Chains A and B, each alone.
Chain A
Amino acid sequence: DTAVSQTPKYLVTQMGNDKSIKCEQNLGHDTMYWYKQDSKKFLKIMFSYNNKELIINETVPNRFSPKSPDKAHLNLHINSLELGDSAVYFCASRSNTYEQYFGPGTRLTVT
């Protein structure tokens, strides 16, 4: 029974396209995040949502737009994809005891 799920797991697309990554958690957590793991393997926060509201937006281009239709879902939409957007994107949710639980990741390749 998957706690944090993401779809798709792999995404290959061309520059200039628009794509979305979906995330769902069945843990009942109020807070969800998107992280990006770049080619240097750093995991960096992109967005934080609490109860469907945007809490944190790090210095991410506005081509990236998160959307939270309900507190169990946090989707990431990316417009006008660029080569530098190629990375692994992880969704996570946070418990009341502060541990964060991660999804399996979505490997995005922009060609």
Chain B
Amino acid sequence: DQQVKQNSPSLSVQEGRISILNCDYTNSMFDYFLWYKKYPAEGPTFLISISSIKDKNEDGRFTVFLNKSAKHLSLHIVPSQPGDSAVYFCAASDSGNTPLVFGKGTRLSVIA
């Protein structure tokens, strides 16, 4: 029973264009959402987060959008750079102090 779903296992984008990674969740108790980036043989690195009281959070080239009614969030990276190539995990939490529930990840490839 996947509570957090990333339905696209992979995504290829040209350098300079926008990358959009999507995530859906089923548990309406989730109120804190995070995106992590993971390179091979390394641990996940925190990228950006959003709480359910907001619908958008921006940090440089990264913006996360939350649509609570659709139980959907997305990560936008613009402009995409080759160094952004990694696996991106969406994660969710109930009140932020419970363990994270992760999606399966989306492998982003940014082509120069």
Contact = CB atoms under 8 A, between A and B. Distances in A.
Given A45-B99, A56-B99, A103 B46 contact: no
A68 to B, nearest CB: 16
A99 B99 contact: no
Contact of B42 (A33, A45, A98, A105): A105
Nearest to A9: B41
Given A98-B49, A99-B49, A105-B41, A42 B99 contact: no
Contact of A41 (B34, B42, B97, B104): B104
B30 interface: no
A102 B39 CA distance: 12
7 contacts: A35-B99, A43-B102, A44-B102, A94-B97, A100-B34, A100-B100, A105-B41
